[in-house]
Structure formats: C-alpha cells, structure tokens
Amino acid sequence: MQKLAEYVTMKEKLLGKTLTELQQIAAQEGLPAFAAKQIAQWLYQKHVTEIDAMTNLSKTARAALSERYEVGRTAPVEVFTSKDGTRKYLFPTDVPGKYIETVMIPEYEDGSEGGIARATVCVSSQIGCKMGCRFCMTGRGGFHGHLSAAEILSQFLGLEEADLLTNAVFMGMGEPLDNWSEVSRALEVITADWGFAWSPKRVTVSTIGVLPNLRHFLDESRCHLAVSLHNPFPKEREALMPVQKAWPLQDVLALIRQYDFSGQRRVSFEYTMFDGMNDTPRYADALARLLRGIPCRINLIRFHAIPDSPFRTSSPEAIAAFQARLQKAGITTTLRASRGEDILAACGLLAGRGLKKPETK
C-alpha cells in the first residue's frame, strides 16, 4: 500500500520541460505533434497550474498526461514586504523542511509608489550553497541540494507580481553555474518564443566564476553576465572566496576576454565594499588594471552586516572616493541601492528561513 501511495504521488513535472522534451512526451503519450506547443503555451504563457485547465487538449489527452505528469508549480508559503516595497517570498522545495527565498524588487513610476514601472525578480538556484564565501549568509547555512528548473520557474510564476516582472537576476541563494543543467533549462524556457519569450537582455546570471560552466553559459546563452569579484588581489580574494583556489579570477577574466561584450550582451563585476579590507585607492587602481580592455561596468555593493562577522561596511566617503577613482580610470561604476534590508532581502542576507519559523511540510 505504502509503495502504491508513493508511486501515485511521484508524478513528473511538466514545468521546466523544453519544447523538445514536450515533443518527446507528446509522442510517448500518443498525442499529435502540435500538442507539445499547446502544452508549452499553457505552461509558460497562460500559466496554468493543472493539466485539466489545458482545454484545447482533448479530455483523453489530458487524462493520459495526468496519469504520469503534473504541472509541478510550487507556491510560496510566506511573503514579507519591506517598507521600500521590496518583497521576499519563501518557497518550499523538494527537499523536505528546506526553503528558498526569492526577492521582487519594484521600481515605481516617477519614484513614487503610484505604479510599478519595473520589477526585477532575484532568483535562487540552489538550496543553500557550497561555495563558502565568508561574507554570505547563504554560504554559512551549507548546501542542501540543487533546485530543479520547475522550482526555478516557480519563482517567477508564483509571485503576485508575476505579470509585472520586467527583469530577472540569478543572484539569490546558490551559485547558478554550479547547477548549470537546471539553470540552463530554465534560461531556455525564459528566453524561447515558446516559453516566456523574454529577450535575453532582461536576464542576468551572476557567478563567482565556476569556470567550466561559465564557458557553457557564454556559448549557449545570450543573457548578461555578472561576476562577483570583491578583491583584485588573488591571495586576499582566496581568503574571502575559496573558489579562487579552484578557478582563479585571472582564468575567469581570460575566458571573458574571448567573448564580445561591446554590443547587446553585457558583463558587470560585483564588488562588495568592506571597511579597510578592499576599499582604498590601491584596490581601485588594481581593479582598473585587472579589467582593462573589457567593456564592462562595476557595481559597488554596500556590505550588509551578518551576525558574528568580522566584516564591516565601508564608509559612504570611502565608497564615493572608490567610485570616483574607478570612473576616472574610465570604468562605469554604479553603487547598487540597498533594497529590502529590513526584511533581510538585501544582497548576501538570504538564508531560506524567512522572519518566522515556517510550517514544515
């Protein structure tokens, strides 16, 4: 009995399947070839949550599909709203008792709260992270598994603002290029005509530099790239980010130099400002030297203090001077606005636990 019950609930998810995979499913189920495109439309454009709602498939076809498949969308269990309008959603995952966070960052028309002009979703790609960056709450919690493409796409479709989203950044929990097979599948769905049909210019994937999959990303996708840099000196970067040992930044930059970022596709470098550790003119000059010749932008990020951490954020004066020095060296440098700090939704603070203890599944 137990075995039968498990079998009945373990249906495969349709969400996250590419058109090619849906064509294979249609063929296996004896559906006409055009049914694959219809299913893709229902999943990715009409946002259904049940196979039974796919009303242009015959009743028999829906029944056949439902035997082995489900839509597979995950709904959030909690949402927190910041005083600046940023919202943090808590999603359950396929790993019992483990949650991930997704952040929706709105920008309002005329700077007022009249209407959302632009809404960016900051997506998680893993349950926790194994990269162990010293300044990151997610890294501290350890690694508990990869998210499936269905779980990644649910972070778009499950938001109350799903229809308002204009941009996506893969900068939430986890290292996207450490889960390339599922992230690439999600990127395909997001940017394909049969999927969300977003321009790749609306999507940015952020990495600390997982070299083998960075090459795959650069070859197979046209989405923007963001690289977490944080320190231009190898030894110091390694003390902050253990990944430096496996895949040195020099090698990452050498790879990036082989691709064209002077046109539609952009590369940016994330640089979190730590008081007295990486925020003096010496660091700005080294950074400018390191990136010479790469058409790029640097995003400076104020460090958001995490408990029991030796790191402090740089002073506003140090940040302004750093920014001015890089600008003078010819590198477009912006200071990323802190959003959602009061709900622990800002950069480096995501930990998959919300503000109060979520109910367990």
How many whole angstroms separate alpha carbon 125 and alpha carbon 179? 7
HSE-CB for 291 with a 13 A CA cutoff: 28
Q: Is 139 in the site for ligand SF4 (CB under 6 A)?
A: yes
Residue among 178, 152, 160, 38 at smallest CA distance from 104: 160
Residue 312 · residue 303 · CB < 8 Å: yes
Of 54-62, 136-144, 248-256, 320-328: span binding ligand SF4 (CB under 6 A):
136-144
As measured in angstroms, the least distance from the Cβ of 348 to ligand SF4 is: 6
In which element (H, E) is residue 8 found? helix 2-9
Q: What angle do CA 192, 198, 201 make, to 5 degrees?
A: 110
List 82, 93, 138, 314, residue binding ligand SF4 (CB under 6 A): 138
- The sign of the dihedral angle between the CA atoms of 141, 143, 147, 152 is positive
Task: Decide if residue 131 touches ligand SF4 (CB under 6 A).
Answer: yes
CB of 74 to ligand SF4, least distance (A): 20
The correct pick among 122, 168, 190, 208 for binding ligand SF4 (CB under 6 A) is 208
> Which of 35, 90, 129, 240 is the binder for ligand SF4 (CB under 6 A)?
129
Name the active-site residue from 107, 113, 347, 359.
Answer: 347
297, two tokens: 């932008």
**Residues 223 to 252 in contact with ligand SF4, rule: CB under 6 A:** none
Restricting to residues 145-204, which ones interact with ligand SF4 according to CB under 6 A?
Answer: 173-175
Yes or no: say if 195 and 40 are a contact pair by the CB < 8 Å rule: yes
Tell me whether residue 18 or residue 207 sits nearer to ligand SF4 (CB atom).
Answer: 207
Amino acid at 34: F
7: its two tokens:
């079998």
Asked about 347 being catalytic, the answer comes back as yes
- Which residue, judged by CB position, is nearest to ligand SF4 in the bound state? 139
Q: Tokens 């596709």, residue?
A: 265
Give the 3-state secondary structure of 201-255: HHEEEEECCCHHHHHHHHHHCCCEEEEECCCCCHHHHHHHCCHHHHCCHHHHHHH
Per rule CB under 6 A, is residue 133 in the interface with ligand SF4? yes
Toward ligand SF4, which CB reaches closer, 18 or 124?
124
Q: Which is nearer to ligand SF4, 126 or 323 (CB)?
A: 126
The answer to the question of residue 354 lying near ligand SF4 (CB under 6 A) is: no
136 assigned to active site: no
In whole angstroms, give the CA distance from residue 239 to residue 134: 8
Contact between 351 and ligand SF4 by CB under 6 A: the answer reads no
Is-contact 143 178, C-beta < 8 A? no
Query: Can you tell me the distance from the alpha carbon of 54 to that of 62, in angstroms, rounded to the nearest whole number?
Result: 7
From the CB of 351, what's the least distance to ligand SF4, in Å?
10
- Tokens 């209407």 map to which residue? 115
| Nearest-approach distance from CB 137 to ligand SF4, in angstroms | 8
Nearest to ligand SF4 of 122, 153 (CB atom): 122
When asked if residue 101 is in the footprint of ligand SF4 (CB under 6 A), the reply is no
Distance CA 202, CA 206 (A): 13
Q: Which of 70, 101, 151, 270 is catalytic?
A: 101
Single out the segment in contact with ligand SF4 by CB under 6 A; choices: 82-90, 106-114, 124-132, 154-162. 124-132
How far is residue 158's CA from residue 175's CA, in Å, rounded to a whole number? 22
Q: Minimum Å distance from CB 270 to ligand SF4?
A: 9
With CB under 6 A, what is the number of residues at the site for ligand SF4? 11
Residues near ligand SF4, by CB under 6 A: 129, 131-133, 136, 138-139, 173-175, 208
Question: Catalytic positions, please?
Answer: 101, 347
